[in-house]
Amino acid sequence: MEELVRSVATRYEIGVVSNTNELHFDYCRETFTTLRHFSKFYLSYKLSLLKPSALYYEAVLADLRVPPQSVFFVDDLEENVVGAKKSGMNGIQFVSPGQLEQDFKALALL
The count of residues in the chain is: 110
φ, ψ for residue 73, nearest 5 deg: -105, 130
Any idea what the CATH number is for the domain that residue 45 is in? 3.40.50.1000
Residue 14: predicted pLDDT:
97
- Per-residue model confidence as pLDDT tens digits over 75-104: 999 999 999 999 999 999 999 999 999 999
- Per-residue model confidence as pLDDT tens digits over 56-78: 999 999 999 999 999 999 999 99
34-50 core/surface letters (b: 16 or more CB in 10 A; e: else): eeeeeeeebbbeebebe
The tally of domains found in the chain comes to 1
- Per-residue model confidence as pLDDT tens digits over 26-55: 999 999 999 999 999 999 999 999 999 999
Residue 73: predicted pLDDT:
98
How far apart (Å, rounded) are the C-alpha atoms in residues 49 and 63? 15
**Structural domain containing residue 85:** 2-106
